[in-house]
Amino acid sequence: MHIDLTQGVIKQHIIKLATPAVVGYFFHTMFNITDTFFAGLISTQALAALSLSASVFFMVLAIGIGMSEAVTSLVGNALGEKDILKAQHITLNSIAFALLLSIVLSILGILSVPYLIEALSDPSYVKETLDYINLILYGSVFFVGSFFFNALLNSVGDTKSFRNVLIVTTFLNIILDYIFITYFKMGVSGIAMATIIAEVITMSYLIYKVRQTRLWCKFSDFKFDAKVVKELLKQGLPPSVNMFMMAFGVYIITYFVAPFGKEAVAAFGIGVRIEQIFLMPVIGLNIATLAIVSQNNGAKAYDRIVPTVHLAIRYGWAMSTIGVGSFLLFAHYFAALLTSDPVVIEQATLYLRISGLASYGFVVIFVYIAMLQGIGKPTVIMSISIYRQIIAPIVVFAILAWFGFGILSLWIGLDMIIFSSALFLWWYGEKKLMSLI
């Protein structure tokens, strides 16, 4: 399968690529909710262990996710140039790079995670946390492999395969969690084992789908190319840092929320989970924009890049309007689905109604980041990520805390940080777009 994104109606390409991605990531979220549900059945310590492990593991895997996005850009550009041999060459080097990267991440994770866990968690659930995350880290090759093979499929315009396998593994995960916990009494290790089995199936299926594309060729044709690896690092490092900073930024926000009480911290966690569900369409637009821009940049069809970006922004803002309206009207109801604590519900409602407005800014950030990756100019992503996730929150929140403002000021400050980041990326991105014309 190979969709030529340099031809045809851009609007149809965006919808065709984004919709399956949104559905797929919805089920990915449901996958995580399933694990959280079964952890809650084991014990409060197991639930806390899973929550903490997920945050730390995401930081470890952020590099793998970011690097896989570089694969979509490089292969997409080669396909846009109509150079299949070049695309196959990049594919083989990307697969080899993914294997090496997964080994490195596993080793670094296993060595560093115990210290991270002990520094951040209550000693009462350190054992459960390590039981879960150590097993997960041994399976890093399957997670990284899935990211890379899905990136290859995205480059040829296939976002349906990932959606399909996520739907299947989500339901499989429910069955496996139930069996390992109820019958084998494996505790959090059972949840980890179920996740790894599901990931093995995911990677295997994605390999099967890649084999059906023109990107697949014999491994005997593999020739190590330092230039390809260097380009993967060049284009993959900025989005990797961006994703790592997103995970680390949550810790910084939590640090400033903590003085307002455990209810505020719990409300922030609930609010973020609900917000992520409504941001899924933006993730779909990010994937669609990256694939379309990459191919058209490779084909030097620059006249198709500008309308792609602007159309994605309009779609994103339309969907954000639905999300913001839902938060204003139903935030209290959404929060009540996840907790019965009235104080937490009230705090989560406040977060959603104020911070939900930032979804307009997230649309601009996600779309222009995808565009910059697609044209091979991702360097600024790292700088804006450090500003948005680290520098600005520390400075703004510290000032607000010093003046003794309430928690409402934190959420307004968070909106200001996101919108200022979006404004800069819009200015910078438009400048790069104009240089293509």
Nearest to 319 by CA among 291, 344, 297, 286: 286
DSSP 8-state class, residue 27: H
Per-residue tokens: 224 = 């190590």
Query: Residue 153, class by beta-carbon neighbours within 10 Å (0-12 exposed, 13-18 middle, 19+ buried)?
Result: buried
Judge whether 193 and 36 are in contact, CB under 8 Å: no
Judge whether 389 and 383 are in contact, CB under 8 Å: no
Same domain, 245 and 366: yes
Nearest to 46 by CA among 114, 134, 131, 137: 131
Same domain, 431 and 355: yes
CA distance 91 to 76: 11
- Across residues 326-344, what is the average pLDDT? 82
Q: Classify residue 10: in a domain, yes or no.
A: no
Domain boundary among 199, 224, 249: 224
- Residue 55: pLDDT band with limits 50, 70, 90: low
Same domain, 72 and 145: yes
Judge whether 166 and 147 are in contact, CB under 8 Å: no
Same domain, 271 and 243: yes
Q: Classify residue 5: in a domain, yes or no.
A: no
Q: Is the pLDDT of residue 268 over 80?
A: no
Whole-number pLDDT of residue 365: 92
Q: Classify residue 13: in a domain, yes or no.
A: no
CA distance 199 to 374: 28
Q: Is the pLDDT of residue 399 over 90?
A: yes
Same domain, 195 and 278: no
- Residue 119: pLDDT band with limits 50, 70, 90: low
Same domain, 27 and 169: yes
DSSP string, 102-159: HHHHHHHHHHHHHHHHHHHS-GGGHHHHHHHHHHHHHTHHHHHHHHHHHHHHHHTT--
Query: Residue 227, class by beta-carbon neighbours within 10 Å (0-12 exposed, 13-18 middle, 19+ buried)?
Result: exposed
Cα-Cα-Cα-Cα dihedral sign, residues 420, 422, 425, 426? negative
CA distance 426 to 315: 16
Cα-Cα-Cα-Cα dihedral sign, residues 50, 54, 60, 65? positive
CA distance 269 to 289: 29
Same domain, 33 and 78: yes
Least confident of 38-52, 260-274, 309-323: 38-52
Whole-number pLDDT of residue 418: 93
Q: Is the pLDDT of residue 248 over 60?
A: yes
Q: For a pLDDT cut of 90, what percent of the chain falls above it? A: 17
- Across residues 6-35, what is the average pLDDT? 75
Per-residue tokens: 199 = 């990931």
Q: Classify residue 209: in a domain, yes or no.
A: yes
> pLDDT tens for residues 193-239?
998 999 999 999 999 998 888 888 777 777 888 888 888 888 888 77
- Residue 37: pLDDT band with limits 50, 70, 90: low
DSSP 8-state class, residue 304: G
Whole-number pLDDT of residue 301: 79
- Across residues 17-24, what is the average pLDDT? 76
Same domain, 132 and 268: no
Q: Classify residue 2: in a domain, yes or no.
A: no
Domain boundary among 172, 196, 224: 224
* Residue 121 or 288, more confident: 288
Per-residue tokens: 76 = 């997409």
What long-range pairs does 217-225 form, CB within 8 A, spacing at least 24? 217/88, 217/91, 217/92, 219/92, 221/88, 221/92, 222/92, 222/93, 222/96, 223/89, 223/92, 224/93, 224/96, 225/89, 225/93
Same domain, 212 and 289: no
Q: What is the mean pLDDT of the chain?
A: 82
Whole-number pLDDT of residue 212: 87
Q: Classify residue 1: in a domain, yes or no.
A: no
Judge whether 348 and 406 are in contact, CB under 8 Å: no
- Residue 59: pLDDT band with limits 50, 70, 90: confident
Whole-number pLDDT of residue 117: 66
- Residue 43: pLDDT band with limits 50, 70, 90: low
Whole-number pLDDT of residue 202: 93
Q: For a pLDDT cut of 70, what percent of the chain falls above it? A: 90
Q: Classify residue 315: in a domain, yes or no.
A: yes
Domain boundary among 176, 192, 224: 224
DSSP string, 247-259: HHHHHHHHHHHGG
Same domain, 103 and 58: yes
CA-to-CA dists, residue 162 to 13, 175, 202, 297, angstroms: 17, 20, 8, 25
Whole-number pLDDT of residue 122: 52
- Residue 161: pLDDT band with limits 50, 70, 90: confident
* Residue 97 or 265, more confident: 97
If one counts the domains in the chain, the total is: 2
Same domain, 206 and 323: no
Whole-number pLDDT of residue 395: 93
Residues spanned by the domain of 435: 238-437
- Residue 397: pLDDT band with limits 50, 70, 90: very high
- Across residues 65-84, what is the average pLDDT? 82
Same domain, 244 and 282: yes
Q: Classify residue 178: in a domain, yes or no.
A: yes
Least confident of 29-38, 73-82, 395-404: 29-38
| Residue with tokens 């900025």, as numbered in its chain | 238
